[in-house]
Structures are given as structure tokens and as C-alpha cells.
Structure 1
């Protein structure tokens, strides 16, 4: 690329960041492609089987830490941050209501893959228009890319003990995206890690999925179980999932750095009424056609109707006893597939046990009332 010799790369770097901000990214950083320091951690994570059934993680192996193998000719990676915290998150209200379906806040609006990829492509076009011969390729959580390691090197933030990227200015309520590019742009300086001795995210995890600082066993993670995993969720984990039907935000909710988070400026990430604050019974009642309609353009759609029903069935099993719940579960048996039925039957057993316990408590209460009444004066 002879044109590189005639351009000020420092100025181009500044322009790229300005263009990125204009497109709606809150932070744009640039890193080199040397991720060798992360290779051993990746290898150990895979050897421990922490990737669960995500076979593609092992298939691509160390390519994740070698950008130039993924896209030959890559010299730099432009890393971007886009905030997604919705204006009406209602975290506590929804998590504390066992009859309500809790959906991870990143998935309440439009699919972030589509939103960010489009903007990254526009950024690449602007760079290409400025410098002929520029080659670029955008990625948004869709290829073997170590996005958190790249964000770390690009100065976006540091990797927290929950393995998410953290920023002093924005906490962790943001998406990451990458633009692989063949230009030797000046790189940004990484920021220092600021987790210190805090282990709040490890302590709060409902399923103990953060097995050690900076290590997550996906097989126990609610996000993995409700989104990536197709099979039968282990019984010992079902009760721990509570009313979380798609993803989990607990490790972010407890993080002290998230007090500095800002509400998103991107309307596409605002919650959809059909998904936000709905009862479990309402969501469970959706037909497949309704599921596809209400999740059109949403990241949720990719899990499919069967996993949607499976996840909600577990949450219904964890909800307080209700004859309506038991009826809804019973009526759904045999309507989707065998795996869903396994979880529906489990939920029905949980509801039945709660019904017996409730009846027993009611009888004990009635006996106590009668005993007290017998000892009262006639005119009491």
C-alpha cells in the first residue's frame, strides 16, 4: 500500500475515533495483534472443559489469540464500546418477583450483532474512502476473536474477575465489537486493572460458575445454560436459576464499578414491551408463531422456541404454587419435544410439592386457630 507513505497515520487514528463516536460508539481504541500472553490461559480453559458443549471454541483453538490467522494481512484491531443499559432496567423489581420472567438486559432490544456490525462496516467504509487499498473485516461476537483481550490492549478497559471487560467510566454494561484492519495504526495504551481484592461477582453468582478469579465454568453459567446449551439442564442447577429465562446479570449487578454506568443513547437497545416485565405465564403461553413474531430482530430468537419453553418451564417450577401454573405446565406436555417435557414434568413436581406444603401449612394454621378459639371466652 504505497498510499500509506503519504498519509499521517496519527491523524487518521484520530479521525477514526471521531468517526466512531459520530456513529454512536462511546469508546474507540486500537490494539496490535500480539495476544500471545493470553494463549496459555485459553489453552488451560479449554483443557478444563469449561467451554461445555461449545465445540467451536476448541475447534478454532489458538486462532482466537492470533488475529492474522483469522484474517490474513491484519496489522491492527480497532475495538469499540457501545453502551446498552436501558432507561428502565428494573433489575431488583423483576429479579425479586418469582412470577416474572427475567431476561438479561442486553437482549431486551434489537439484536446487538446487527446494530454494531452495521456501524463497524460504516466505519470501515469511511477509512477505506480516506485510504485506497484498506482492507477491513468487522466482528461482533461471531467468530473466534478474543474480544476482551483485544479491548484490554486497546485501552477500552480491563478484564474483571467475572471475565467481562470493565471500565472506570462505564462499568460493564456495554457491547464490544472489532474491526480487523491492514493498517499499521498507532496503538493505544492498556489501562490498569482495578478489581483489587473485590470478589463480589464470584460470591453473588447463583450457580457458582466463577470457579476462580478470571475463570468461568460455562457448564454452570446461567447464560450458557439458557442460551448455548441445548440439552437437559442438571436438576441441581435448575432451582438456582430462579426466574432467569435468558441470560443472567448478577455478576454485573453487584459490581461496584457499574455505579458509573450511563443509560444507552441507542434507541435500538431500549426494551420491547413484549419482553420486558412480562409474567412467566404470559411468556410460556406464546405459540411458536408468537415467539417468532415478538422476537423478530432480537438476539433471543436464535435460541429457538424449544429452549424458550424449556427455560420458562424451569422458572415456573421455581415460582410459588399456583393452580394456573400447574394447569399451564400440564397443557404444554407433548406440544414441543421430549427435552422440553422433561423440564415441564420437573416443574410440575416442584409445583405439586409446594401445593402439599402449602396445604399442610394451611391445615396447621387452621388447627392453631381452632385451639386458640377453644380457650377464648364466649363473648371474645
Structure 2
């Protein structure tokens, strides 16, 4: 079969299995990206979750020595939630970022890539492929940009004309020399809304992100959250969508397309207080199918405590005192102490004083001291 015909049929097949966009690019090195990644590394802007070997991230031939081209795919996900529950006094709610609504996108995108692999092997038995999604070596956005899926926005997201930036990305390196698509012209223009509203100033300039300051990254860490970021988290318990929700290119892009990505409102916007006492088993049963569960319950619980402090939710103080007194994890005890001081109220002073007398962990003691200072400020 001629490559042109194979490529044309592949495009049609991809659409039939729920791939919203497909593009092709050559497998030559991403030289400009390599320089940017080296600069990111020098500045200490990387998250630590990514592949550390820059050569592997930018040279496809290191991942598949017969590499000729790369197939890029995109699946659109919803930007709106139907019947979203509203949090209120006494029953506050957190929010998972849109990329964690519905089933884990890693599973959904890998399923499509696997089907494409099988389709290709039926037609080209000698085909060689290497597929990846998010946690693979290649930079999804760089592949998607070069393959014409969308342009790279100032918020470091791929923006598509059809679905905005609400797309999941995946790619497949192959030894088939598919014809490359042309990149799409960048349409951000003079707009700087994403840079202007970033809660922590993580978008240091157009197209450059300091991941160490990004709320999406911070919500996934497991240690104490640095003080300067606690007031910026709000009620986000996983991820951050601010730089997407303000983007004019996302206006009107609801993307209510794939059933598997449609959110369960009670999971996407869960009640905060029940999260404080949820067991590992309960957490996996309830949230395990979401991509936002990949770090386990600890970051989610810590963020839930910070969110309750954000709301100054008085009804949560007894539960927070319980966490401060009984939780085996210092991060939880300490964050709860800080939150109790932030919320204040009649139970707070005595609880913090008692905890200070009984606590032995130095980090937790520092957090109790912070809580007491916050309490004194609010008195």
C-alpha cells in the first residue's frame, strides 16, 4: 500500500475511534526545544516530574532507532460541568482541574494509540512504533505543535482552533515516513491575559513557565506547601485552570464530546470535610479512576485543609483539631494547625496551645506557632 493511501486511511480510522485531531511530523530532533529545556534546567524551573534526559526528550531516534515520523493525536475534554453542585457554609467544596474530570486521560489516549498500533500492524507487518502519553520522554506539546495540532500559547498549552486548549495529547514514533503536516500559525497576538492572571506569577513570560511556582504543580506536591502559595490555592485540590479559563480562544469551547470525560459532579467538586478522614481504600474506590488521584490521597487531603482555611469554615474546626491531634503524618498535623489559626473561633486557641505542649515534631511545632500568630492577628 502506498504511504499516501495509508496515511489517508489512517486519518479516517483515527476519527472512527474517537480521535478528535491527528497530525504528522518528521522525526528530526527538536533543536529549539532542546535549548529551551536546557535554559529551564539552568533556571530551576522544572517540576521534577518530567524525564530528566534532555536528549531523550528532544531526539526521537534515541527512543526508536528506525524513527522516520511521529503521529500526534488529540482528544478534546469538557470545559463546562452540567449540574455542578454549589458549596456553601457548612458544606464547602473543592475542585479538580478539568483535565482530571472523567476517567484518567492516560488510559483513554493510550487506548486510542494502541488501536492505531494494531491497525498499522495489520497493514504494515514490519512497522515499528513507540507510543507515549504525558509521562513519556517526548514533550507532547512540542510534537503537537510541529504536527499542526495547534499552536503553543503563551500559557504553555497547545491551543487548537476547534477545541481551544482543552485537549489531551499523545504521540507515536514510527518507522513509516508519513508526510508531515504544516504547523498552525500562532494566534495569541498581543493578548497577555494568561500571564496577567496567573495566581503565583508562574508564567514568567510568554511560553515560559516556572513549574515550581505553578499552582497545578504545587497541588501535586506532598510536603508542606510554602507559605507564600497557601493563600493562592483557594479551593483547588488538584490542578489549576486559570490560564485556560481566561483565554479568549477557549470562549464557547464546551467540548461535551466524549462520554468517558464527562465529569461526575460529586467527584469533580467534592465536599471538603469528608476528605479529611477518607481511608486509602475509600479514596481509591472513589477517586482512583481520575488522573488527579495519581499522587494518592495525601496532597488532596492537604489541599482540602488549605481550602477549608481559605473559606474560614468554622464547622471544620473540630475535624481539623482531630487531624492535628491524631494524624500520623506531620504534614497533615502541621497544615491543620495552620488552618485552625487561619479560621480562628472559640475552639482554636485552646486546641493550638495544647497541641504545642504535646507535639514533638519540629516542623509541626513551627506550623502551630504560625497558627497561633494568625489567631492573634484575627483577635
Scaled by the length of structure 1, what TM-score is found? 0.86
Which of 104, 107, 110 is the matching residue for 1:114?
107
Instruction: Quote the Cα distance in structure 1 between the aligned partners of 2:91 and 2:40.
Output: 34
The aligned residue for residue 20 of structure 1 is 14
The aligned residue for residue 344 of structure 1 is 336
The aligned residue for residue 177 of structure 1 is 170
Q: What are structure 1's unaligned runs of at least 5 residues?
A: 1-6, 364-380
Residues 170 and 335 (structure 1), Cα distance of their counterparts in 2 relative to 1, 3 Å cut: same
Residues 318 and 198 (structure 1), Cα distance of their counterparts in 2 relative to 1, 3 Å cut: same
Report the more deviating stretch, 44-53 or 208-217: 44-53
Q: What are structure 2's unaligned runs of at least 5 residues?
A: 350-373
8 Å CA contact 2:79, 2:166 repeated in 1? no
User: CA deviation digits over 1:110-157, x for unaligned, max 9?
Assistant: 111011101111011101111120111221112111111110111100
- Measured after TM superposition, the shift of residue 260 of structure 1 is 4.5
The aligned residue for residue 329 of structure 1 is 320
Which of 8, 20, 42 is the matching residue for 1:47?
42
The aligned residue for residue 205 of structure 1 is 198
How many residues of Structure 1 are paired with residues of Structure 2 in the alignment?
Answer: 352
The aligned residue for residue 8 of structure 1 is 2
8 Å CA contact 2:161, 2:249 repeated in 1? yes
The aligned residue for residue 244 of structure 1 is 236
Instruction: Quote the Cα distance in structure 1 between the aligned partners of 2:255 and 2:213.
Output: 30
Residues 103 and 336 (structure 1), Cα distance of their counterparts in 2 relative to 1, 3 Å cut: farther
Instruction: Quote the Cα distance in structure 2 between the aligned partners of 1:174 and 1:89.
Output: 19
- Measured after TM superposition, the shift of residue 345 of structure 1 is 1.3
8 Å CA contact 1:202, 1:208 repeated in 2? yes
Scaled by the length of structure 2, what TM-score is found? 0.86
User: CA deviation digits over 1:179-206, x for unaligned, max 9?
Assistant: 1111011110101101011000011111
Instruction: Quote the Cα distance in structure 2 between the aligned partners of 1:79 and 1:200.
Output: 28
Residues 261 and 191 (structure 1), Cα distance of their counterparts in 2 relative to 1, 3 Å cut: same
The SS at the match of 2:27 is coil
Instruction: Quote the Cα distance in structure 1 between the aligned partners of 2:174 and 2:82.
Output: 36
- Measured after TM superposition, the shift of residue 300 of structure 1 is 2.3
8 Å CA contact 1:154, 1:188 repeated in 2? yes
The aligned residue for residue 281 of structure 1 is 273
Over the residues paired in the alignment, what is the CA RMSD in angstroms? Answer: 2.7
8 Å CA contact 1:81, 1:174 repeated in 2? yes
8 Å CA contact 1:157, 1:166 repeated in 2? yes
Instruction: Quote the Cα distance in structure 1 between the aligned partners of 2:47 and 2:133.
Output: 21
8 Å CA contact 2:78, 2:98 repeated in 1? yes
8 Å CA contact 2:34, 2:54 repeated in 1? no
Instruction: Quote the Cα distance in structure 1 between the aligned partners of 2:83 and 2:163.
Output: 19
User: CA deviation digits over 1:63-86, x for unaligned, max 9?
Assistant: 101111122212111000100115
- Measured after TM superposition, the shift of residue 92 of structure 1 is 11
The aligned residue for residue 290 of structure 1 is 282
8 Å CA contact 1:168, 1:260 repeated in 2? no
- Measured after TM superposition, the shift of residue 283 of structure 1 is 3.0
Instruction: Quote the Cα distance in structure 1 between the aligned partners of 2:16 and 2:339.
Output: 49
